[in-house]
């Protein structure tokens, strides 16, 4: 129950976007901060905690030491990631904030989350450490995230300079399946200098240990049988549902030869969307002229098998008037010449490299220069080669359109 004023220094630099700590380094850090604030305020009601950010435009104190947990949690919202962490300035500002704490009887402590590389040299950090020790400020360092050569050394040197009778600690958290907060719970940062841990920390540790102990779904059936039963039932239902869905999908694939589409479901959906969007515009242009033509176009996109005759008759009329309409009609004609497969016109579009790359560029997370994507495109092209040979004269026209 040590009476303490704590300043937490958060790293919100660009390196925090990384996802090696689930869900992202920044989120893991925020969870850990929330846990620490809770533990500190619970262990002694007069403890105060403050928060500052070290990166971004500069070191910024979000909340001065306060015992109001709500205020601290609120200030963690809407934090932006960016910039580079300035460790030295962060620690110095934290020391200043602690100096002006309202209750001078509180011990001073700084907790630093060091996720990005440390730019300062060892000497400078040691000077800072000495100054902290002289003013009897304790320092806890959480070393996670980036691990370039020298960072660990520098932080250890800083700790050695600050440490006075084991009041300061450093914790190295490697990336892995365990959450950052879970790892921290068992460290002296939470349990506080070997006092034996507050009730909060102890119960949190027990919960974490329970999850690891190997019970199914992480819930002890003895403690909470209803919850365990509900979890088991829902898990089985989910499994059954997934099996049924997979079965159905397999059936569909064998029926309609849509094996390829299954894999690239998103891509083909987008491609057909794109195509239909493009054609919708053309349909609008022809709106006033020919309603039956519209019908033909619409039907050609949706169901190439039906109303092929309609398309044939219309084609000769419209071809002369509007090249864009002609294009659409060509598509529908190609459909009629091939076996009924909506994949045909889609694959025709896919065969057009430039069209596909423009679609791909708009897809999030797909890089057209990615070798795997290029492979897929190449295979698509090979499939549609015989088609292209048939419609060589139409291909140049298509190029013009684009």
Partner 1 sequence: MACTHDHSCEDHDCSSSWSLYKHIDLSKVTALNEANPGSVKSVFKAWEERLNSSGEHLESNEGDPELLVYIPFTSDVKIKSISVVGGADGTSPSKLRVFINRDGIDFSDAQSMQPVQEWDLVENLQGVLEYQTRYSKFQSVANITLHFPDSFGGDTTQIHYVGFKGEATQLKRDVVATIVYEITPNPSDHKTRAETGGGLSHVE
List interacting residues with partner 1 (CB under 8 A).
1, 42-43, 45-46, 99, 104, 130, 133-136, 164-165, 195-196, 198-199
Q: Smallest distance, Å, CB 21 to partner 1?
A: 31
Query: Among residues 99 and 172, whose Cβ is nearest to partner 1?
Result: 99
* 24 φ/ψ angles, rounded to the nearest 5 degrees: -150, 160
Query: Among residues 67 and 187, whose Cβ is nearest to partner 1?
Result: 67
Q: Smallest distance, Å, CB 187 to partner 1?
A: 19
The radius of gyration of the chain's CA atoms, rounded to the nearest angstrom, is 32
The pair of three-digit structure tokens given for residue 61, joined into one six-digit string? 């104190």
Q: Smallest distance, Å, CB 367 to partner 1?
A: 54
The strand pairing partners of 7, in sequence order, are 50, 110
Strands 4-10 and 137-143 turn out to be: unpaired
Q: HEC profile for 220-260?
A: CCCCCHHHHHHHHHHHHHHHHHHHHHHHHHHHHHHHHCCHH
Query: Among residues 195 and 370, whose Cβ is nearest to partner 1?
Result: 195
Q: Smallest distance, Å, CB 61 to partner 1?
A: 18
Question: How far apart, in whole angstroms, are the C-alpha atoms of residue 72 and residue 62?
Answer: 8
The pair of three-digit structure tokens given for residue 259, joined into one six-digit string? 């094996």
Residue with tokens 């009629």, as numbered in its chain: 336
Q: What 3-state DSSP class applies to 200?
A: helix
Query: Among residues 99 and 241, whose Cβ is nearest to partner 1?
Result: 99
CB-based contacts of 391, cutoff 8 Å, min separation 6: 330, 334
Question: Residue 308, exposed/middle/buried by CB under 10 A (0-12, 13-18, 19+)?
Answer: middle
Q: Smallest distance, Å, CB 96 to partner 1?
A: 9
Query: Among residues 165 and 372, whose Cβ is nearest to partner 1?
Result: 165
The strand pairing partners of 9, in sequence order, are 52, 112
Q: How is the chain split among helix, strand and coil, in percent rounded to 5?
A: 60, 10, 30
Q: Smallest distance, Å, CB 202 to partner 1?
A: 9
Q: Smallest distance, Å, CB 97 to partner 1?
A: 13
Q: Smallest distance, Å, CB 162 to partner 1?
A: 12
Query: Among residues 71 and 394, whose Cβ is nearest to partner 1?
Result: 71
Query: Among residues 191 and 334, whose Cβ is nearest to partner 1?
Result: 191
Closest to 206 (Cα-Cα) out of 194, 197, 195: 197
Query: Among residues 13 and 168, whose Cβ is nearest to partner 1?
Result: 168
Query: Among residues 45 and 214, whose Cβ is nearest to partner 1?
Result: 45
Q: Smallest distance, Å, CB 136 to partner 1?
A: 6
Q: Smallest distance, Å, CB 75 to partner 1?
A: 23
Query: Among residues 166 and 237, whose Cβ is nearest to partner 1?
Result: 166
Contact (CB, 8 A) for 9 and 54: yes
Question: How far apart, in whole angstroms, are the C-alpha atoms of residue 4 and residue 108?
Answer: 6
At how many degrees (to 10) do helices 394-401 and 323-337 cross?
140
Closest to 155 (Cα-Cα) out of 138, 137, 167, 172: 172
């Amino acid at each position: 129950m040590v009476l303490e004023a704590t300043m937490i220094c958060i790293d919100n630099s660009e390196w925090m976007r990384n996802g090696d700590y689930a869900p992202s380094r920044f989120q893991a850090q925020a969870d850990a901060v929330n846990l620490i604030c809770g533990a500190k305020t619970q262990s002694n009601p007069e403890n105060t905690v403050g928060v500052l950010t070290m990166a971004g435009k500069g070191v910024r104190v979000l909340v001065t030491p306060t015992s109001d947990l709500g205020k601290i949690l609120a200030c963690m919202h809407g934090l932006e990631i960016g910039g580079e962490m300035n460790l030295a300035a962060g620690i110095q500002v934290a020391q200043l904030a602690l100096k002006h704490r309202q209750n001078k009887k509180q011990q001073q402590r700084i907790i630093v989350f060091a996720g990005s590389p440390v730019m300062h040299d060892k000497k400078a950090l040691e000077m800072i450490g000495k100054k902290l020790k002289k003013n009897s400020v304790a320092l806890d360092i959480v070393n996670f995230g980036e691990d370039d050569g020298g960072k660990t050394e520098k932080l250890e040197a800083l700790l050695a300079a600050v440490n006075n009778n084991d009041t300061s600690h450093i914790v190295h958290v490697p990336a892995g399946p365990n959450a950052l907060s879970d790892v921290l719970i068992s460290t002296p940062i939470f349990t506080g200098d070997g006092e034996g841990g507050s009730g909060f920390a102890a119960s949190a540790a027990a919960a974490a240990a329970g999850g690891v102990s190997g019970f199914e779904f992480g819930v002890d059936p003895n403690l909470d049988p209803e919850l365990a039963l509900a979890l088991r039932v829902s898990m089985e239902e989910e499994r059954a549902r997934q099996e049924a869905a997979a079965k159905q999908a397999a059936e569909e694939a064998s029926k309609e030869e849509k094996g390829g589409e299954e894999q690239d479901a998103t891509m083909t959906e987008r491609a057909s969307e794109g195509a239909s969007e493009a054609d919708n515009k053309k349909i609008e242009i022809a709106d006033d002229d020919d309603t039956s033509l519209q019908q033909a176009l619409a039907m050609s996109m949706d169901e190439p098998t039906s109303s092929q005759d309609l398309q044939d008759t219309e084609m000769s009329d419209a071809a002369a008037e509007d090249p864009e309409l002609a294009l659409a009609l060509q598509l529908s004609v190609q459909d009629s010449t091939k076996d009924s497969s909506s994949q045909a016109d889609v694959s025709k579009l896919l065969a057009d490299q430039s069209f596909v790359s423009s679609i791909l560029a708009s897809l999030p997370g797909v890089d057209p220069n990615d070798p795997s994507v290029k492979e897929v495109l190449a295979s698509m092209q090979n499939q549609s080669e015989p088609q292209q040979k048939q419609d060589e004269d139409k291909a140049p026209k298509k190029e013009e359109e684009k």
